[in-house]
């Protein structure tokens, strides 16, 4: 019962914060409601008994990505006010509504093969064994490390002031 209440609270917070991100005029307030949305998603991970992922969500999204986004808003300050919509508003609404309807229909009509076992908790040891152990994901981990290195170097090179 408590789990259901937590799910409904988190779901309402997530959807309200996401709508605020899309519809608020002030870019800075939109970034703040994006942070609220990230924290509520971490709560959803907790109700799914994914404790390690909830911690990573707080660290990476709430800690790092929001700081980067707010920094970018600060540095583009004289364009901060207003986030006007373009002419695609009606077609985008139609596309989003049709996609949402299709997704909900597919999700509710599919016979999911729900497993009777309880989910694994705590997940940290098991995730480490999955990522680094035998028959695991060690090659994707290495590729992800290379991708992060390339992204850091690319961000530095692109954002650097050109000396004249």
Partner 1 sequence: MTIGLEHYLVLSAVLFCIGLFGALTRRNAVIILMCIELMLNGVNIALVAFSSYIVPQLLTGQVFAIFVMVVAAAEVAVGLAIILAIFRGLSDIDVNNINLLKW
- Decide: is 88 part of the binding site for partner 1 (CB under 8 A): yes
Cβ at position 119, least distance to partner 1 in Å: 4
> 35: part of which helix (H) or strand (E)?
helix 27-47
Q: What are phi and psi of 66, to 5 degrees?
A: -65, -35
107-126 positions binding partner 1, by CB under 8 A: 107-108, 112-115, 117-120, 123, 126
31 touches partner 1 (CB under 8 A): yes
> Judged by CB under 8 A, which of 9, 62, 84, 134 binds partner 1?
84
127 binds partner 1 (CB under 8 A): yes
Among 89, 135, 139, 164, binds partner 1 (CB under 8 A): 89
Task: Write out the binding residues for partner 1, residues 5-24 only, by CB under 8 A.
Answer: 7, 11, 14-15, 18-19, 21-22
139-158: which residues touch partner 1 (CB under 8 A)?
140, 144, 147-148, 150-152, 154-156, 158
- Whether residue 25 contacts residue 83, with contact meaning beta carbons closer than 8 Å, is answered with yes
Is the Cβ–Cβ distance between 152 and 160 less than 8 Å? no
Q: Concatenated DSSP letters for 128-153?
A: HHHHHSTTSSHHHHHHHHHHHHHHHH
Q: Say if CB 38 and CB 66 are below 8 A apart.
A: yes
């Amino acid at each position: 019962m408590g789990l259901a209440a937590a799910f409904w609270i988190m779901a309402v917070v997530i959807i309200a914060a996401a709508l605020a991100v899309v519809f608020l005029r002030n870019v800075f307030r939109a970034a703040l409601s994006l942070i609220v949305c990230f924290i509520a998603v971490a709560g959803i991970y907790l109700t799914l008994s994914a404790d390690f992922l909830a911690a990573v969500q707080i660290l990476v999204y709430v800690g790092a990505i929001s700081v980067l986004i707010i920094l970018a808003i600060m540095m583009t300050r004289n364009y901060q006010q207003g986030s006007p919509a373009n002419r695609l508003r009606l077609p985008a609404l139609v596309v989003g509504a049709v996609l949402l309807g299709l997704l909900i229909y597919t999700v509710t009509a599919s016979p999911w093969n729900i497993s009777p076992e309880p989910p694994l908790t705590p997940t940290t040891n098991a995730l480490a064994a999955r990522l680094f152990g035998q028959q695991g994901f060690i090659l994707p981990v290495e590729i992800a490390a290379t991708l992060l290195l390339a992204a850091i170097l690319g961000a530095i090179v692109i954002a650097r002031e050109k000396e004249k």
